[in-house]
Amino acid sequence: MKLRRSYWSKHCKSTGLTNNAMEQELNLKTINWPALWHKIDAILFPELPNPKRSMPWWHYLLFVTVSIVFFSFLGSFLPATGFIGYDWVYFFSTSEQEYGVSYYPPWVEYVGYLTWPGLLGMTFTGLALSLYQRRASLLVMGLAFFTLPALWIIFLGQVEGLIVFGLTGMPWLVPLVTIKPQVGYLAFLARKKDLVILLTWLAVSVAIWGLWPLNMLTINNFTVLEEPHDISLWPWSLPLVAVLLWLSRGDEDMLMLAGIFALPYLHSYHYFVVLPALARLAKGVAILAVMISWLPLSANWLGPWAWQLGHLFPLILWFNLYRQRRALLHAGQGQPLSAETSS
């Protein structure tokens, strides 16, 4: 050490460095950079119990095939007339991106090939499968189909169901998860490998379609409409969202629930993406959450302000998942738990 300091003293004299600069340069040389990166990685991407059950590929494909056929068959008895499936009829089933989907990614034009029954089939297959993956009881699984977001999706003919379906088959279904600029993107922040997958797909899509993310800026054309059921808190919600995202690190459901408050254009049907989190709640809390999901419709009697009651649904889900997380961390003596710990 004396020899090293002697060498650095001579080096500093020859280069004009001060003693403080010498110490700083010496400290940089002695930092264990791999260990430091490992600590940062553990903070940003903590290992938590995996709430999803593992499924063999044949089990996944069997579930998907049977469910899509079943729900598509049921969907064939509910034709999209415009009153039902409005966005499907006037936007998604058309061959070109028009005003209503101008801020969507360019591959949304392929949604039209699904047909209306096919869209319903994939939508509710995604919901059923994601609930099954999270070990939902039959009661909670059934109730999830009768929440306001689930039925509003049918009425409006939107594509949130494709995002949910895509999340069941990561990383292969990443184009579906990113088919709409919504909170599905935040699910990729739960694990580092998923974030790499997202960045890779975005790079590939930009190489194919050009700088399409700039189209998302046109969402401002919708926020200025001041629709009464647009309950976005943007941008005032951003400080709260930053805190919630930090507390949600490593948990896919919590990250999406936290990020939904940052959407500049938010309606209660957007909550369809976070419905699978119901499976992780106690039955009594899940039933309460399902009932609360219908509160926005009280605006028909209480006035437009009651649409804001829609915020209660994701808040209840997030805070209950956070309580579970704290309990697990406390049980693990404050140390991040691995998936093996929960099994």
Q: What are the domain boundaries of the chain? A: 57-333
Using a CB cutoff of 8 Å and minimum separation of 24, what contacts does 221-226 make? 221/99, 221/102, 221/103, 222/103, 222/265, 223/264, 223/265
What is the Cα–Cα distance from 255 to 278, expressed in whole angstroms?
Answer: 15
The predicted model gives 43-56 an average pLDDT of 88
Compute how many other C-beta atoms are within 10 angstroms of the C-beta atom of residue 295.
19
Task: Let me know the angle formed at the C-alpha of 237 by 247 and 47, rounded to the nearest 5 degrees.
Answer: 15
15-24, 241-250, 301-310, range with the lowest pLDDT? 15-24
Question: In angstroms, what CA-CA distances link 56 with 50, 53, 126, 169, 188?
Answer: 16, 10, 17, 12, 22
Residues 123 and 151 sit within 8 Å (Cβ to Cβ):
no
The distance from CA 152 to its chain's CA centroid, rounded to whole angstroms, is: 19
| Residue pointed to by tokens 């990020």 | 259
* pLDDT at position 303 over 90: yes
What is the Cα–Cα distance from 135 to 342, expressed in whole angstroms?
Answer: 14
Q: What pLDDT, on a 0 to 100 scale, did the predictor assign at position 329? A: 78
Residue 296 burial (10 A CB sphere; 0-12, 13-18, 19+): buried
What pTM, to 2 d.p., does this model score?
0.85
116-172 residue pLDDT tens? 999 999 999 999 999 999 999 999 999 999 999 999 999 999 999 999 999 999 889
Backbone phi, psi, residue 275, to 5°: -55, -35
335 confidence band (pLDDT: 50, 70, 90): very low
| Residue pointed to by tokens 């949604």 | 111
Please report which helix (H) or strand (E) contains residue 172, including its range.
none
What is the Cα–Cα distance from 290 to 193, expressed in whole angstroms?
Answer: 33
Structure tokens at 176: 């579906």
* pLDDT at position 28 over 70: no
